[in-house]
Structure 1
Amino acid sequence: MYLYRCSAKTRRAVGFGPGAVALALFCVHALEASEPMRTWTDSTGEYSVRAEFAGVQTGKVTLQQADGTEVSIPLEKLNAADQEYVRQRLAAAAENPFKTVAPNRLLPVGESPRAAGTGSSPRETLPDWSTAKKIDVIGGGDWRLSEPAAPAAGGSVKPIALPSKTSFFENAAAMAIAGTGRYAAVGYTCKPPARDAKVTTTVVVCDLAEGLLLGSGAVEGELLVPIAVHDSRAEVLMRRNESGLGNQDCLETWTIDAAGVSRGMKWVPYADEKDRDRNVTWAAYLDENRLATCSAGGRLAIWDVETTRPICYLDVKGRPALSPDRKHLAFLVEGQVGVLDVEGQKVVALQAAPVSGGVLAFTPSGKRFVTLSGAELYVWDFATGQLQRECRLEGVHAGDELLCPSEEHLLAGSGRLYDFVNQVNVWDYRGYQKAGIAGGVCWLAVVAGERQPSALVPARLPHEGVADKLETAMADPDFFVFKPGTTVKIDVGKIADSAARTKVQDALVKKLEARGCKAGANGTITLAAGVEEAAKKAELRYRSFGSFGYDKYKMTKFISRLEFIYDGKTAWKSLGNNLPGFIVHLGKDQTMKQYIKEREKPNYEYFDRIELPKLLTKPTGAPTLGSSQVTVSGIQ
């Protein structure tokens, strides 16, 4: 490869030697019509190349030079005129009645994907957003929506056998269930640590209504996970799942049957976005012909399944939720919660909300939907928009895997069942890897050890007997030891600095008042604050942007501790420290050593920032009322 600098009046030209190799993912056939040789220029105007148009693949344009070598460039990095030329070529290809049988890098817009792919190679498309309708997020007066129709009951009530793990490094990576509740897909990925080891993606499709495993298929050399399942056929929407920024951006349709995998369409929905904003975080089939997706950057879009053409879109915050009847999408924008009518493509409800982002989920009936933002949970009535619950989850780590198995509970990705009506951590379910909801039935993927039995296990949560245990526990008048009206004793004796001790005391009094409680020497529960120096110094590693090596530093660590203590037992605890964050911004001429030296002191500001819980149950030594093991035979 060679590069040379032109004069100020010309552009830089980039060429590739005869040994250059085209980065193609599958066999490429020439375009039907001869392409003219032309000059292509990047968006900066600094670089140009003389070549003919060869095709488009995963958002990248491939160009062929006169000597036969190929170069590629992301579409968004071409100048505006060249981008328009590519769009015109796509449109022209759509009108050509002669179609090649073998996969072509250029998929004409509007061509059906059903005949597009082969067993080993998908057919790639380039989304055209120019015709997509932008939906205005505007309120329509009072929030008045009809109650959703009762969804169909769940399918089979017997476990469905799944393939066993074939390797120690293989794991159940994701699970998706069709909106109709008919089909489910479980995705396995295998990524051995050896440098030359091949990664593998395996997908299993089950018919939940009949309790049958329909088929499975595997692909080597690629990591993908199921993210949605078609309504009425064993078609799975797969998403690239590589590590790194922007590497969860590509979608494919796979059809799974007894013969294995048939790969259909492939496209990057948000190719114009950068880094993590282009990642696809959520997807769901709306019906036979439409699909909804949402990006990490917040673009919620509805697509034509046959052509992978975006129909409409709106910009939201966080991850939306599709109602069980699949007529509405609940979403959040800055300081507002809203509902989109899928068929009418318009916002039919919008109102102020105390949250601007998070993960949303509907209850099985669709009469409620919840939002989890960090540790804060909000519950809305779908028909009226009334905020029915606003609580803080303690000890629940949900991540993005949020499900509502009943009208009163949520199941976090960690397996914890939380009663959001009574605000209680009820039960822990262990032994399963992934879960999904269909018609009020929770399907739990139990993928055991290597070559051990695995199954997709149906259950209604909470399972039998849990409600009775909760009722018995709540009959105890001391079940909630911290709630509005509680008098709390504050203990700041473990803060040595007298001035800081007074400030922390005052801050905690205000926080208790915000929870409807008061501080007093005769409190029934103690709120204890303290700061202590760690036994040894913390070792930190930082590097400057653009550098490769790390610099090591040592820093005196101070631990800030805040806990509620009831009858000598810890009911709640939170820890902080004085260590700097992942990214550090240094001042002008400031060194890292100086930055660390300035922060080698107790972090009293932690007590100003910490959020107190709203309710606490009597500490028993266990985080919940009980736990159960999920096995291939059911809940034990």
Structure 2
Amino acid sequence: MVNEMNFKQRIQIGLLLSLALLLAIPLTANAGRFKRGDTVQIYKKFWKKWYTGTVLDISRKSGQLKIQYQDGGRLKTEIFDENIVRFPYEEDAIAPARNWTDASGSFQVMAAPLGIYGDTLKIRKPDMAELEVPISKLSDGDQRYIDRIRRFMGGAAAPTPVNLPITRFGRSTTDNEFQPAISSDDRIAILPDPLPSYMKLKEGGAAFGRLGDFSDGEEFGVIIPVGGPDSLVLASAERHPRKGEATTRLIWVSIADNKIAAQQKLPPEEYVLDYHPPSHRLLTYSYIDGETLGSKKKIALAIWEVLPTDEMATPIVRWEAHPLEGTSVDPWAQIIDGRIVLQRWDKGEYVGWNVDQKSVAYRLKQESFRDSLPAFSGTKKYAFLPEQDQVRVFDPMSGIILTALPAPKGSKAVALSEDGKKAAVLDNHQLAVWDLTNANAEPTYFHADDIGRVSVKSMFWLGDDKIMVKSYRELLLFSLTQRIVIWSYQFEYTTKHGDEERPLVHIVNDHLVYGASVRDNNRNEGLAVGNVKLPGPKVADVFDTVNREDLEITKPGERVRLEVRCGDQLNRDVYYAMLAKIEANQWTLDAENPTLIIYADATKGETQSTTYYNSSFLSRGSREVTVSYVPNIYTLKVMKGNDLIWSSRRQSGSPMFMTLREGETAQSKVSESQIPNVSFFKYADIPSRIIHKDYRRGLGTTQVTTRGLIAGALKPPPQIDRTNNSVDAQDEDPFQ
């Protein structure tokens, strides 16, 4: 074990977060520019919206306005400060309206600046007419004013690009056909597809100003490592309509220079999903009928072309991307090569879109209850789809199934090594590491209860011999050499962890990329992106010095008492299945003087119901049928004295898909699936060497903060009671 004193001092690695926050130019009114009778808009912060009203009176001394406005069905009159009042034509403006003068001084126009791009200024007049004016034709004062806006706002000074109308892609005669599954017995070797060389990131970070405040301001939508010489990271800063005026910005963070390299705007309510550096293409989505929480959603996907050096993103295509009745899943899609987009169409269904041909390229159905998202090799040459009893490997360009990795106990997450040679497949209790380059090589298995049982959001390789699993607000570092969780990383409240569909946390080239909310000394709100080296301070010392045996509370040679309580139909088969497990663990059956007791139980649960429907790609409706069933609940427990040291549980469910032959019904098929069986006990993976419960989440914890990684103290060695438990004697084999 590592000496505890080595970890008593907390270590910090700075993110080098620059808090020179880039604050947008406020849209404040110039004193005296309003007059009685003006139609204006006022902002109500509580409701996070603008209301249209009329100026009734003006206080030149205080600068306040008396305004009458409509709120629902009632007329209200209130006093407002000028800084929350604007003219209707100033909506979406980057600065207040002003009188613009040409170089000769003979022409003037009152207008609000909507954006600056290239040598052109876009303005809107009070009659809502929009004009584009060459900057060179404006007066010197106006040109200096534009230069100040550019220096202050950068790419945010450009106009908001106009979204394209939604189109409907063509459908082929095979649109209703799914790619055929392949047997895992037909496994083939695949060539390595390593992480591209440009995907290298240095340590560092940068911050930028947040539009709005803590309660209604921007939040990260997604964080995407881009790489290159500047170690670029692309972040989307988004504000949803429910938080006020919707906005979306693209923020290009140069990790190498610790600064914001560029930014651009996207249309309101357009949200980022992915960016493909080689093709410079950006993938976004929007809700066609507005975001509807808790119901079917109809979404549109869109492709844009954009580089950090561009003033505006250029729209390429926008298309309808949802089943007829809408989808119940959160939007997820990835750009494969700039031409093909892989989208989760609905629960358990994927569609490959050819955006150049504006058509469906292929369809896939995922046979899994978990609906885990696909993982990709380094350049997305291969996609790995976790399923109920295998991991399907397919070409995401064509949808062609290439091979499959057996996963008889299910698969909840897949990670590809950065050299492209290995795949790690995780289920609830076991981690399998496959050599993808050798079709005949058997996988290496690791007991992995401590990472398999958490709610896994994503999984990464760290070097050649470590796996990092991300749950809700935690990262668990699993050592393939020591076969245990070595360390835990906890995200503090200011850091952003994201979700599966739009992640805010990545591990690239042994670095952790993440986002956080920050505040400077003047209480200005901001967002920051950082990149730190893993595993962080002092953690590497643990790998070489920890002794796994010091943490084990069971070993080969344990004496076991077996209690089987599964009913007459299963008791005999379960008993012999568990006897095989005991022998495989090099334990012995000893009812008189056991050190462990194993309980095997089978019970019935509460009645459940499931609704099936026809989800045809071209279906204009759905024919639903609801069935009911009583699930079987199977449980295994391992006790040492009065302590529960290991357990596993499974509940039977209804099939995700079914094919009915003549005379069959959905109810009869579901009832057949509820016949009790011994498979859970037969395939249960009880570790021979069980780790003490206090160490199943690592030997210590590092805090992930805005200041970097702060390592905590190493846990002291466990105090393990190895005394024997005495119980009443019983027959060795009750079924002999």
- Normalising by the smaller structure, the TM-score range is 0.5 to 0.7
What's 2:700 paired with?
626
What's 2:476 paired with?
416
How many residue pairs get aligned? The number is 474
2:460 maps to which of 403, 411, 414:
403
The CA deviation at 1:509 is 5.5
What's 1:185 paired with?
234
The CA deviation at 1:409 is 0.8
Q: Amino acid of the residue matched to residue 558 of structure 2?
A: T
The CA deviation at 1:283 is 1.6
Q: Does structure 2 conserve the Cα–Cα contact (< 8 Å) formed by 1:492 and 1:501?
A: no
Is structure 2 residue 371 aligned with structure 1 residue 320? Answer: no
The CA deviation at 1:149 is 5.0
Deviation string for 1:397-418 (max 9, x for gaps)? 3444333333331331332223
Give the SS at the match of 2:393: strand
Please give the alpha-carbon distance, in whole angstroms, between the structure 2 residues aligned to 1:390 and 1:527.
Answer: 23
Q: Amino acid of the residue matched to residue 422 of structure 2?
A: R
Deviation string for 1:588-632 (max 9, x for gaps)? xxxxxxxxxxxxxxxxx9x97995653532333673111111223
Q: Does structure 2 conserve the Cα–Cα contact (< 8 Å) formed by 1:336 and 1:353?
A: yes
The CA deviation at 1:324 is 0.5
CA gap of 1:515–1:381, structure 2 versus 1, over 3 A, is same
Please give the alpha-carbon distance, in whole angstroms, between the structure 2 residues aligned to 1:136 and 1:562.
Answer: 36
CA gap of 1:625–1:135, structure 2 versus 1, over 3 A, is same
Q: Amino acid of the residue matched to residue 124 of structure 1?
A: I
Structure 2 gaps of 5+ residues are 1-129, 131-158, 498-503, 612-632, 655-677, 711-736
Q: Which moved more, 1:559-568 or 1:463-472?
A: 559-568
The CA deviation at 1:208 is 5.3
The CA deviation at 1:352 is 4.5
Please give the alpha-carbon distance, in whole angstroms, between the structure 2 residues aligned to 1:142 and 1:491.
Answer: 39
Please give the alpha-carbon distance, in whole angstroms, between the structure 1 residues aligned to 2:442 and 2:228.
Answer: 28
1:153-552 correspondence runs (5 A): 154-164=200-210, 166-168=213-215, 171-178=219-226, 183-188=232-237, 190=239, 203-207=250-254, 212-216=259-263, 222=269, 225-232=271-278, 235-240=281-286, 242=291, 243-247=293-297, 249-253=299-303, 255=306, 265-271=317-323, 275-276=327-328, 280-286=331-337, 288-306=338-356, 308-317=358-367, 318-331=372-385, 335-341=389-395, 346-350=400-404, 352-354=406-408, 358-373=412-427, 376-385=430-439, 386-391=441-446, 393-396=448-451, 397-407=454-464, 408-414=466-472, 415-420=475-480, 422-431=482-491, 432=495, 433=497, 434-448=504-518, 451=524, 454-473=527-546, 475-482=547-554, 485=556, 487=558, 489-490=560-561, 512=582, 517-520=587-590, 522-525=593-596, 527=598
Give the SS at the match of 1:276: coil
Give the SS at the match of 2:192: coil
Higher relative CO (Cα under 8 Å, sequence separation at least 6) belongs to 2
Please give the alpha-carbon distance, in whole angstroms, between the structure 1 residues aligned to 2:166 and 2:274.
Answer: 19
Q: Does structure 2 conserve the Cα–Cα contact (< 8 Å) formed by 1:409 and 1:418?
A: yes
Q: Does structure 1 conserve the Cα–Cα contact (< 8 Å) formed by 2:476 and 2:697?
A: no
The CA deviation at 1:438 is 3.4
Q: Does structure 2 conserve the Cα–Cα contact (< 8 Å) formed by 1:175 and 1:227?
A: no
Please give the alpha-carbon distance, in whole angstroms, between the structure 2 residues aligned to 1:205 and 1:167.
Answer: 22
Deviation string for 1:86-123 (max 9, x for gaps)? xxxxxxxxxxxxxxxx9xxxxxxxxxxxxxx9724343
Q: Amino acid of the residue matched to residue 553 of structure 2?
A: V
CA gap of 1:151–1:446, structure 2 versus 1, over 3 A, is same
The CA deviation at 1:229 is 0.9
CA gap of 1:635–1:249, structure 2 versus 1, over 3 A, is same
Deviation string for 1:226-264 (max 9, x for gaps)? 321121476532235853344374323355868677665
Computing the radius of gyration from Cα coordinates, the structure with the larger value is 2
1:556-635 correspondence runs (5 A): 564=638, 571-572=645-646, 613-614=686-687, 616-620=690-694, 623-635=697-709
CA gap of 1:296–1:210, structure 2 versus 1, over 3 A, is farther
Please give the alpha-carbon distance, in whole angstroms, between the structure 1 residues aligned to 2:350 and 2:515.
Answer: 28
Please give the alpha-carbon distance, in whole angstroms, between the structure 2 residues aligned to 1:127 and 1:486.
Answer: 64
Please give the alpha-carbon distance, in whole angstroms, between the structure 2 residues aligned to 1:141 and 1:561.
Answer: 34
Q: Does structure 2 conserve the Cα–Cα contact (< 8 Å) formed by 1:228 and 1:283?
A: yes
Give the SS at the match of 1:437: strand
The CA deviation at 1:366 is 1.3
What's 2:60 paired with?
none
Please give the alpha-carbon distance, in whole angstroms, between the structure 2 residues aligned to 1:190 and 1:262.
Answer: 21
CA gap of 1:218–1:151, structure 2 versus 1, over 3 A, is closer
Q: Amino acid of the residue matched to residue 466 of structure 1?
A: V
Q: Does structure 2 conserve the Cα–Cα contact (< 8 Å) formed by 1:225 and 1:240?
A: yes
1:41-190 correspondence runs (5 A): 119-130=161-172, 137=181, 143-149=188-194, 151-152=196-197, 154-164=200-210, 166-168=213-215, 171-178=219-226, 183-188=232-237, 190=239
TM-score by length of 1: 0.58
What's 1:111 paired with?
none
Please give the alpha-carbon distance, in whole angstroms, between the structure 2 residues aligned to 1:323 and 1:314.
Answer: 18
CA gap of 1:510–1:402, structure 2 versus 1, over 3 A, is same
Q: Which moved more, 1:124-133 or 1:428-437?
A: 124-133
Q: Amino acid of the residue matched to residue 269 of structure 1?
A: A
CA gap of 1:266–1:218, structure 2 versus 1, over 3 A, is same
Please give the alpha-carbon distance, in whole angstroms, between the structure 2 residues aligned to 1:563 and 1:162.
Answer: 51
Please give the alpha-carbon distance, in whole angstroms, between the structure 1 residues aligned to 2:297 and 2:707.
Answer: 37
Please give the alpha-carbon distance, in whole angstroms, between the structure 1 residues aligned to 2:585 and 2:345.
Answer: 36
Q: Does structure 1 conserve the Cα–Cα contact (< 8 Å) formed by 2:298 and 2:326?
A: no
CA gap of 1:462–1:424, structure 2 versus 1, over 3 A, is same
Q: Amino acid of the residue matched to residue 188 of structure 2?
A: W
The CA deviation at 1:166 is 3.0
CA gap of 1:210–1:285, structure 2 versus 1, over 3 A, is farther
Residue identity (%): 17
Give the SS at the match of 2:506: strand
User: Which 4+ residue blocks in structure 1 deviate beyond 6 angstroms?
Assistant: 131-134, 179-182, 218-221, 499-508, 528-531, 559-562, 574-577, 607-610
Give the SS at the match of 1:184: strand
CA root-mean-square deviation: 5.4
Q: Does structure 2 conserve the Cα–Cα contact (< 8 Å) formed by 1:292 and 1:302?
A: yes
Q: Does structure 2 conserve the Cα–Cα contact (< 8 Å) formed by 1:183 and 1:229?
A: no
Q: Does structure 1 conserve the Cα–Cα contact (< 8 Å) formed by 2:233 and 2:252?
A: yes
TM-score by length of 2: 0.51
Deviation string for 1:44-78 (max 9, x for gaps)? xxxxxxxxxxxxxxxxxxxxxxxxxxxxxxxxxxx
The CA deviation at 1:463 is 3.0
Please give the alpha-carbon distance, in whole angstroms, between the structure 2 residues aligned to 1:366 and 1:527.
Answer: 41
Give the SS at the match of 1:617: coil
Give the SS at the match of 2:462: coil
Please give the alpha-carbon distance, in whole angstroms, between the structure 2 residues aligned to 1:454 and 1:393.
Answer: 36
Q: Does structure 2 conserve the Cα–Cα contact (< 8 Å) formed by 1:330 and 1:360?
A: yes
